[in-house]
Chain A
Amino acid sequence: MSELATLLHRDAPATADYHEFQYRRVLTAPLERRGELYFAPPATFEKRVRLPVSETYRIEGETLSMAFPDRATRQISLRNQPLLGGLLLSFKAIIGGQLDSLDSTFIATVGGTADQWTLDLRPSQPDVAKYLEVIHVSGHRSEPLHFEVVERSGDRTVTEIEPR
């Protein structure tokens, strides 16, 4: 775990493209989205959706700002949103190499080697566990490459990261 944390640790801002597929029972085809992930130490994380629409989710400390094209930016406190917070914070923690921030929400299991590592996150809070089954993450050395969020319902979201 600490080796992985050392691998992922970042001191400089980082940007990566992502490509996401959502497999949902209520849909006949997977939902596809593209965009970029941005991290600036110590605590800023943005998920910028580019396709099919432009949306920005920005976490600054414990505040989540959501910017949509034709609506005012909304801000909410993640303190009161364990589920949404848990999901976004897991991305933030892994992209930004701050694994210890996961402790309050997830139980983490590390596997593989430095060249081909895996990380499973299982929710520790009942609120989150009601909805979320597990998050599988895998990557190569300092680069996380693959996220798979599995919901209790069986719906899945797969995210491929393409480092720049």
Chain B
Amino acid sequence: MSVDQTSYSSRRQWLLMATWALLLALGGYFVASTLSVDSDLRLFLPAAQSPQERILLDELKEGPGTRVLLVALSGLPAEQLATLSDQLANLLRDHPAFVRVENGTLQSDPTMQELMLRYRYLLSPRAQGCACETETLRRELDARLVELGSPAGALAEDLLLRDPSGEMQAILDSWLPAIEPQLQDGVWFSRDGQQALLFLQTAAPGFDADRQRLAITTLTEAARDLEPSGRLAVAVTGPGAFTVLLEQSVRVDVTQLGGLAGIGSVLFLLLVLRSLRHTLLGLLCLATTSLAAIVGVFLVYPSVHGITLAFGFTLLGVAMDYPVHLMLHLTRDVTARQTLSHVWPTMRLSIVTTCIAYLALILTGFTGLTQLGLFTICGLVATGMVLRWVLPRLVSPSDSRAPPAWLLAVDRLPRLPALPLVVLGAAVAALIVSPRPLWSNELAGLTPVPQSLQDLDARLRSELGAPDLRYALAIRAPNAESALQRDEALKGELEQLVATGVVGSYESPSRLLPSVLHQQQVQKGLPAADTLRSRMHDALAGSAFREDAFATFFADIEGSRTLAPLTPAALSGTGLADRLGAVLLQKPDEATALVTLSDVKDPVRLAAWAASKGNDVLLLDLKSLAESLIARYRTIALAALGFALVVIGLVMVVQLRWRATLAVLLPVLATLAATVTLLNLGGIQLTLFHVVSLILVGGLSFDYGLFFNRSEATDDGALRTRYSVMVCWISTLGAFALLMLSTMPVLQALGSTVALGVTLGFMLSLLARHAEPQAK
């Protein structure tokens, strides 16, 4: 009878496990098919506090700067590269994924040409809109005559006669960028002549991974079709390229490293547990934890940040420790439920305190950290529930194994209760005297992009003359029109700043599109038909031009007097709209005009001038803004961490006693301090991702301390506890050492920080362990 019952029970257990696995597979399939990953850096930044910060964050999110892709073609002789650059540019210009494609060749955009021609007097940089006084006309006509004689001018005879005052050229000249890239064989080249350069603007924002991938694939496939030999190297940088790279890296790392880690943990579990059933159960627990974590984030957010996902999966290794503790504590003569009730209080304390630490991440209010906190808490809670209610029914005490005999040697290691204090003191002292700054304040420190690619991006930007946008003036107004008017009103003072050497040059949005008010004033000033004819008659005295050659000019001036002024909306679909959109940011209830300032020589006087302009004119120093954002972010994250430590300490004092609390917490503090010091001595400046890694190190060391300091009823129990902690440390070390193989620098840093930290934590907790096992 009893044999029947056992076998029935065992069969029912296998059936339960199969059902569990099936449910997980279904859930996993659902998640995999709906998983959407994004890479918006803003999710890892705090909310804006000042208007300046808001503008910076808006720019980071959707600004036209995020739509820029920079392309370098290399690997072939310059002439071939130039031809390929042209062919590629022509193909991409016809593709809807790209709104702007520039490679240095003069573009004839007929719509744009037509628009400019029609509105040339309203768009002209000249104050009067037209050089239409008799004297100025005479000078301009002489210049046109010279142009007509030149090879290029002769081809443009119609335009010269239609625009004798030269407004088109005046507009084009005023739109020229301050620095132009070097031209070779008619297209842009790097200064060393090895790379043909292209500047692209995509239709999709930089953080739209799917559409950016489509754009980049289009580009690379077109290049391969043009030059199938494989000798052409195509490098693409820019926010969109980084987004695609990040997403691919996460995918590759999650599948490849995840696969390796999976195989590794199966082998390790088999080796340690020496039970197929327990190994399978361990894997089911891990899968449940992962699924619960992802689903938890999905219930709140439409998509998961790539970094959350990558970090999160590594955090799940922690959750794996609990089932291992349970299984290693099983003994043949005790039921699983009894074993659980024995280790459960420690596990519960560990789970609750870890959840508190991650709750602190949620409280920071940054979406990225909130996602990470939510991810981990959901996973941990699911693990706790499985541990409490599912595992005891499925594990089998008869599969239990005694700890290996050599473990007794570990037990004979000396106890050094003062060691954590010594390490803590030494680490803090070393940090204080260390000449190296502890923190990295660069926004770039948050970019998960490899340094080599960042360097390439910076080099391409400088080669392409994209200005180093450190300083800009933001002019805020209720709408685009008033922003443009204010911009125009500042022109005189900006010229003054250039003249007195405070700034090298500036570019105003109103230079691309004057305000409606300005255009109307110009219209009023344009001469009436009779006046213009008589001025023209005087100006042409003694000129080689025939007087009747200018019919189109007269008609255009007359037409311009009654044209409806050009507004930003009327530009949509033209190349000018893209350029204007980059410097005139429009929202339903406000508009911001950005005046870019290049070559700022006297920031102090510039700031003083801007401060005197009132609230609607803000000086943006993008570098210091970004740095203060990062610094504030870190302060909040560290405050949250400190808060978590205090709460955890309180929980423990209630649960344990003062001495026990200190015995657990001191090694944790010493571990954190020593890890930070070693990183600093190793030349690494900490970023936010190190903080997240340290939170994980803290949590794991804390668990080691809790278990090492457990009051055990028996020597065997104490031995099993040490064994299970050691097993947990080795498996964590293995997983994070594997992470050091990641292609993403962020994950490499996480891997090395945690591998170093948990090792320190394990050693310190072991050596500082509390008194002998004592009877309850």
Contact = CB atoms under 8 A, between A and B. Distances in A.
B151 A26 contact: no
A107 interface: no
Nearest to A66: B152
Contacts of A88: 151
B148 A24 contact: yes
B252 interface: no
A90 B588 CA distance: 57
Interface in A84-133: 84, 87-88, 131
Contact of A33 (B149, B155, B161, B187): B149
A57 interface: yes
Contacts of A27: 145, 148, 544-546
Contact of B105 (A66, A80, A131): A80
Interface stretch (B48-56, B178-186, B268-276): B178-186
A84 B544 contact: no
Interface in B302-335: none
A28 B544 contact: yes
Contacts of B186: 62-64, 75-80
Contact of B161 (A26, A57, A77, A81): A26
Interface stretch (B79-87, B451-459, B577-585, B667-675): B79-87
A157 B154 contact: yes
Contacts of A63: 183-186
Given A84-B155, A88-B151, A31 B86 contact: no
A77 B106 CA distance: 8
B146 interface: yes
Given A76-B105, A78-B186, A80-B106, A31 B148 contact: yes
B157 interface: yes
A103 B82 CA distance: 22
A1 interface: no
Interface string A32-53: 0100000000000001010011
Interface string B567-590: 000000000000000000000000
Contacts of B106: 76, 80-81
A76 B108 CA distance: 13
B185 A84 contact: no
A61 B155 contact: no
Nearest to A83: B155
Given A28-B546, A31-B544, A80-B105, A22 B155 contact: no
B148 A49 contact: no
Q: Chain B interface mostly helix, strand, loop or mixed? A: helix
* Most A CB within 10 A of own CB, among B157, B161, B186: B186
Nearest to B169: A71
Q: Chain A interface mostly helix, strand, loop or mixed? A: mixed
B433 interface: no
A16 B179 CA distance: 36
Contact of A84 (B145, B151, B183): B151
Given A80-B105, A87-B151, A26 B185 contact: no
Given A26-B546, A63-B183, A77-B105, A84 B152 contact: yes
B154 A26 contact: no
B17 to A, nearest CB: 69
Interface in B147-163: 148-152, 154-155, 157, 161
Interface string B358-371: 00000000000000
A57 B148 CA distance: 15
Nearest to B107: A80
A52 B82 CA distance: 35
A17 interface: no
B549 interface: yes
A131 B155 contact: yes
A148 interface: no
B152 A75 contact: no
Contacts of A84: 151-152, 155
A24 B183 contact: no
B180 to A, nearest CB: 8
Given A26-B161, A27-B544, A55 B184 contact: no
Interface string A1-43: 0000000000000000000101011111101010000000000
Contacts of A25: 546
Contacts of B150: 49, 55
A75 B152 CA distance: 12
Nearest to B83: A79
Nearest to B145: A31
B149 A75 contact: no
A37 to B, nearest CB: 12
A42 B105 CA distance: 24
A31 B151 contact: no
A40 to B, nearest CB: 18
Contacts of A77: 82, 86, 104-105, 185-187
A67 to B, nearest CB: 11
A110 B83 CA distance: 33
Given A52-B146, A63-B183, A75-B183, A22 B154 contact: yes
Contacts of A57: 151
B155 A26 contact: no
Contacts of B549: 26
Contacts of A47: 151
Contacts of A157: 154
A101 to B, nearest CB: 15
B79 to A, nearest CB: 7
A26 B546 CA distance: 5
B400 to A, nearest CB: 79
A33 B86 CA distance: 35
Contacts of B187: 77
Interface string B184-195: 111100000000
A67 B603 CA distance: 37
B187 to A, nearest CB: 6
Given A31-B145, A55-B150, 14 more contacts: A27-B145, A27-B544, A28-B545, A31-B148, A31-B544, A75-B186, A77-B82, A77-B104, A77-B185, A77-B186, A79-B86, A80-B106, A81-B106, A83-B155
27 contacts: A22-B149, A24-B148, A24-B157, A27-B546, A29-B544, A31-B145, A31-B148, A47-B151, A52-B149, A61-B79, A62-B79, A62-B185, A63-B184, A63-B186, A66-B152, A75-B186, A77-B104, A77-B105, A77-B185, A79-B83, A79-B86, A80-B105, A83-B155, A84-B151, A84-B155, A88-B151, A155-B157
Q: Which 8 pairs from chain A and chain B are nearest by CB?
A: A77-B186, A26-B549, A75-B183, A63-B186, A31-B149, A27-B544, A29-B544, A77-B105
